[in-house]
Structure 1
Amino acid sequence: MQLTDRHREYWRRNLRLTGGLLAIWFAVTFLVVWFARDLADIRFLDFPLPFWVGAQGALIVYVLLIRRYAKRMNELDTEYGVSEGSR
C-alpha cells in the first residue's frame, strides 16, 4: 500500500509532535539529573529544584505531556479524517 501525500503529512505532523514532547521528556528526566549539583542552589517551594523535580515535578510534566499528546492527536485525527468517530 502506498501512502498518499495527505497520509505523509499526517505522519510528519505526528512525528514532529512526538519529537517535541520527547525532547521535553528528555530535559526533565535526564538534564535535571545531569545538572543537579549546579541546580541545587535554585529553590522551588522551599526545596532544591532537582529534589522537587525528582519527587513531584517530573510526574506532573509526564501527565501534562500525555494529556497534550492525546488532545493534539485527537485534533489531528479529526482534521485528517482518521478519528474513531469518522469511521
Structure 2
Amino acid sequence: MSTVNYPFSGREQKSMTFSPVLDGDVYTCQMKWNIASQRWYLQISDSSDNTIMNTAVVGSTSSGGINLIAGVFTTTTMIWREKNGQIEVTS
C-alpha cells in the first residue's frame, strides 16, 4: 500500500483541484465550498469529465479515519486529516 498526501487545510479561499489514482485510474478531484451549507464538498470526475461522485467532506482525527470515497471505490481510501491539513489517499 502506498499513501499520497495532498495539502488541504479547509481554510482555503478558493476551490482546490488534484488528480489522485483511485482504484488504478487517475481521476480529477475538486474541493468546492458550498456557501449555502457552509461546508466543503468533494467532486470526483473521470477522464471524460463525467461526475462519479459529489459528497460532503468530513474531517477525521489522526487516530481514526472516515473514508470519503467508501461505496464507490473499493481498493482506495481518501481521508481528510483536518488537524494535519492533508487529504490522505491510500491504495
Class of the TM-score when normalised by the shorter of the 2 chains: under 0.3
TM-score (normalizing by structure 1): 0.22
Q: Which structure has more strand as a fraction of its residues?
A: 2
Larger Rg: 1
TM-score by length of structure 2 reads 0.21
